[in-house]
Amino acid sequence: MAQLFFRYSTMNAGKSIELIKVAYNYEERGKTVLVMTSGVDDRFGRGVVKSRIGLSRNAIPIDEGTNILEIFMMENMRRQVDCVLVDEAQFMKKHHIEELVEIVDSFECPVICYGLKNDFTNKLFEGSYYLLVYADKIEEIKTICWCGRKATMVARVIDGKFVKAGEQIVIGGNDMYVSLCRKHYNDGRIDGDYNGESAVKEE
């Protein structure tokens, strides 16, 4: 039975490389995948999924007015689509998630979405909110804070300073966002040298 998956994490946990790996595994077995990504994140060009280790692949960009269901149905008429993979799913709108639900329920096609859960102020993104509502399976892709604890928060850093106010969506990479555990997010400590604290790994 097909399901809607939401695989979430903080920044730099390997979401994009996981998507590329899943796509490769399907295609290696002769299956067809439909890969999509948000048109908002154009750091590597529109419609490109790229991992930190350099692997990339083309994808269909999703904009605010994109009808994912219509795109799927057109592609599925040409050749049966065996899986839909979506990167940067946090940037999707409510109607996008509802369209993905329709793909799963009406066409028995699994959909796997990758994205952030919460923003730099710890509020849910719209896409993440509705994925948490509708997903059949919610899975965490884990990464760690500089101290060794599990990272659960994303901090925005501008000119070396931790900021907790501003527009929700500002596209950036390692130069602007840092994954932190809850303790160091709340303390505003973005690395082991901040405020003279040394990095100590804790279980």
* Model confidence at 111: pLDDT above 80: yes
Q: Could you tell me the two tokens for 74?
A: 């057109």
- Hey, what amino acid is at 20? I
Task: Give the model confidence (pLDDT) of 114-144 as tens digits.
Answer: 999 998 888 899 999 999 999 999 999 998 9
DSSP SS3 for 43: coil
What value, to the nearest 5°, has the Cα angle with vertex 8 and ends 6 and 14? Answer: 120
Q: Could you tell me the two tokens for 65?
A: 């007015």
Q: What is the DSSP letter of 77?
A: H
Q: 151 near 145, Cβ under 8 Å?
A: yes
Q: Tell me the average pLDDT across 54-83.
A: 93
* Model confidence at 58: pLDDT above 70: yes
Contacts with 36 (C-beta within 8 Å, 6 or more apart), sequence order: 59, 60, 61, 62, 68, 71, 84, 85, 86, 87
Name the pLDDT band for 50 (thresholds 50, 70, 90): confident
* CA separation for the pair 57, 66 (Å, rounded): 20
Per the model's pLDDT, the better-predicted residue between 107 and 163 turns out to be 107
Lowest mean pLDDT among 23-37, 95-109, 176-190: 176-190
Residue among 122, 175, 174, 184 at smallest CA distance from 148: 184
Q: What percent of the chain has pLDDT over 90?
A: 56
Residues belonging to the active site: 88
Q: Tell me the average pLDDT across 11-36.
A: 92
Supply the pLDDT for residue 201: 31
Supply the pLDDT for residue 173: 59
Q: 43 near 171, Cβ under 8 Å?
A: yes
Per the model's pLDDT, the better-predicted residue between 147 and 198 turns out to be 147
Residues facing residue 115 across a β-bridge: 8
Q: What is the DSSP string of 9-29?
A: ESTTSSHHHHHHHHHHHHHHT
* Model confidence at 84: pLDDT above 60: yes
* CA separation for the pair 157, 180 (Å, rounded): 12
